[in-house]
Amino acid sequence: MARNFPTVNINEKAELRVRAGHPWVYEDDISSVGADVIDGELVDVLSVKGKYLGTAFYNSASKIRLRVVSQNANDRFDESFWRRRVCYALDYRKTVMGADFACSRLVFGEADGLPGLTVDLFNDIIVSEVACLGTDRVKGIIYDALWDELCRRGITPTAIYERNELALRDKEGLARYKGFWRGDGDGSTYITENGIKYKVDYIEGQKTGYFLDQKYNRAAISKIAKDKTVLDCFTHTGAFALNAAMGGAKKVTAVDVSADALATAAGNAALNGLEDRVDFLRADVFELFTEWEAKGKREYDFIILDPPAFTKSSATVGKAIGGYREINRKAMKLLPRGGYLATCSCSHFMTDNLFCKMLKSAAEEACVSLKQIERRTQSPDHPIMWNVPETDYLKFYIFQII
C-alpha cells in the first residue's frame, strides 16, 4: 500500500523498543522529522535506515514524541479502524469481567491500542480522560463507537462525561476542562461492587469518580475479615472498610485525613446499612501510627494500607521508599503476633521488586516475619502488557504477621 503519511526517523535504541512492542518514542530518540509533520497527526515511524516500523501520533510539545498505534503497514486509520479498537476492548472486558462488565474500565490507554485514553463505565455513565493530542483529535469517533457498541452489548448509556483535568494535558498542549460530551446527568450515579452499593461522584470525585482497579482485592479482604478488628487506612470512599464489614468483621475503623472522603465513606456505609458497624476517624495516618506506637496501643488485628501514590516519577522513588517503609513498619509493630496486614502501592515507579525489598526491610526493623497469604495486582479490566511496563502499576499483598 502506498504510504501517504509524513515520516519521522528514530534511532537504533528506540527502534529496538518499538520492535519489541513498546508504543512510546521519546524526544531524545528522534533522528529526523519530515517538514510536513503536524502535531496531533499520524506519521510513519522509520528506522535510521528508512525501514517502516509503525504509524504513530506525533506531538512536538510532548516528551513522548511518538505514540505508536499500529505496526501493520496495511492499516487504514479511518472510522472502521478506531471502531475495531473499541470492539476489541469491549469484547475483552466482557470476557474477563463477566457479570462485572457494567462497572469496569473499558479502555486502559496503550494496553488497548488507544494512547492516553482512559474510559470507565459506571452502569449507564461513561467517564473518560484523554492525555494524548492525537487521540483527542479522534475522540469523537471513539466516543460514538463506545456508545453504539455498548448498546449492542445490552447497556444503554445516558451520558459521556469528560474529566480532562490531568496535568499531563499541559505537556500535550491540551487545555484542561471537564464536562458532558454527550447526554447529561446530575453528577452522581450508583454502582454495586462485590455486593456493596456505592455512590459515585463522577464530576468532583478523584480521577473518574471511583477506583475500579482494587475490585477483587477488596473481595480478598472480605474473605478473611470475619471476627477481626479492622483498621482501614487512607479509606477514601470506604471500600475496603465496607468489604471488611460485609465479611463479618467484629469492628471496623476507617481513617482518612480528608473530611470530604470520610463523609463519602460514611454515606456509602449508610447505603448498605453498615453505619453502626464502621467507625470513621479523621487523622493523618503517619501521625496516628506514631502516637499509637508511643502509647503501645494494639487495638486492631487486621490493618489495611491503601495509600495514594507516594511517587509519580523516577526522581522521587528513593523518598517514596522511605515513606512506604515507615508506614508499613509502624503497621507491623501495631499488630499482634498472628495479626494480618494488607498493603499496596499504586505507583508504576515503585516496582514490585522495590516494593518487596521495602517490605522485607520494614519487617526486619519491626522484628517480625511475614507469612504471605496473597500476592495480587490490578483487576483484569486494567490489563498488564508485558512489553509496556507502565501498564503494571498496582502491587497488593496480604500477610500474616509472625
Residue 321 belongs to some domain of the structure? yes
Residue position matching grid coordinates 446530575: 186
Chain segment 266-312, per-residue pLDDT in tens: 999 999 999 999 999 999 999 999 999 999 889 999 999 999 888 77
Query: What is the per-residue pLDDT for 140?
Result: 98
CA 79 distance to own-chain centroid: 28
Chain segment 43-86, per-residue pLDDT in tens: 999 999 999 999 999 999 999 999 999 999 999 999 999 999 99
Query: What is the per-residue pLDDT for 315?
Result: 79
Average pLDDT in the 160-175 region?
96
Average pLDDT in the 234-243 region?
97
CA–CA distance, 331 with 40 (Å, rounded to integer): 47
Phi, psi of 138, deg, nearest 5: -110, 10
Query: What is the per-residue pLDDT for 61?
Result: 96
| Cβ burial, residue 5 (10 Å; 0-12/13-18/19+) | middle
Instruction: Give me the torsion for CA of 205, 209, 213, 216, rounded to 10°.
Output: 100
Last residue of a domain, one of 191, 221, 256: 191
CATH code of 153's domain: 3.30.750.80
CATH code of 29's domain: 2.30.130.10
Report yes or no: 180 and 160 within 8 Å, Cβ to Cβ. yes
Last residue of a domain, one of 70, 88, 105: 70
Residue 177 belongs to some domain of the structure? yes
Pick from 175, 173, 176, 219: which is nearest to 196 by CA?
219
Residues 396 and 318 in one domain: yes
Domain count, the chain: 3
Query: What is the per-residue pLDDT for 313?
Result: 74
Q: What is the average pLDDT value for the chain, to the nearest integer?
A: 96
Residue 1 belongs to some domain of the structure? no
Query: What is the per-residue pLDDT for 2?
Result: 63
Q: What is the DSSP string of 125-172?
A: EEEEEE--HHHHHHHHHHHHHHHHHHHHTT----EEEEEE--THHHHT
Three-class secondary structure of residue 220 per DSSP: helix
Close Cβ partners of 49 (under 8 Å, ≥ 6 residues apart): none
Residues 186 and 220 in one domain: no
Query: What is the per-residue pLDDT for 38?
Result: 97
Per-residue DSSP letter, 308: P
The pLDDT of residue 362 is above 70: yes
Q: CA separation (Å) from 18 to 12, 26, 85, 127, 296?
A: 10, 11, 19, 30, 54
Residue 197 belongs to some domain of the structure? no
Residues 392 and 317 in one domain: yes
Kindly give the residue spans of alpha helices, DSSP state H, lying in 76-131.
Answer: 79-97
Residues 169 and 39 in one domain: no
Residues 240 and 186 in one domain: no
Catalytic-residue membership of 346: yes
The pLDDT of residue 314 is above 80: no
Chain segment 215-224, per-residue pLDDT in tens: 999 999 999 9
Average pLDDT in the 12-27 region?
97
Q: How does 259-296 read in b/e, with b if 16+ C-beta sit within 10 Å?
A: eebbebbbebbebbebeebbebeeeebeebbeebeeee
Residue 16 belongs to some domain of the structure? yes
Q: What is the pTM of this model?
A: 0.95
Residues 17 and 128 in one domain: no
Residues 93 and 53 in one domain: no
Residue 342's pLDDT band, with cuts at 50, 70 and 90, is very high
Report yes or no: 321 and 358 within 8 Å, Cβ to Cβ. yes
Residues 293 and 243 in one domain: yes
Q: Which domain holds residue 239?
A: 213-401
Of the chain, the percentage scoring pLDDT greater than 90 comes to: 94
The pLDDT of residue 1 is above 90: no
CATH code of 309's domain: 3.40.50.150
Residues 164 and 221 in one domain: no
Average pLDDT in the 120-144 region?
98
Average pLDDT in the 235-256 region?
97
Residue 204 belongs to some domain of the structure? no
Residues 381 and 235 in one domain: yes
Choosing from 103, 132, 344, 346, the catalytic residue is: 346
Query: What is the per-residue pLDDT for 319?
Result: 86
Residues 24 and 128 in one domain: no
Last residue of a domain, one of 17, 48, 70: 70
Residues 184 and 220 in one domain: no
Identify residue 319 by its one-letter amino acid code. Answer: K
Residue 225 belongs to some domain of the structure? yes
Residue 379 belongs to some domain of the structure? yes
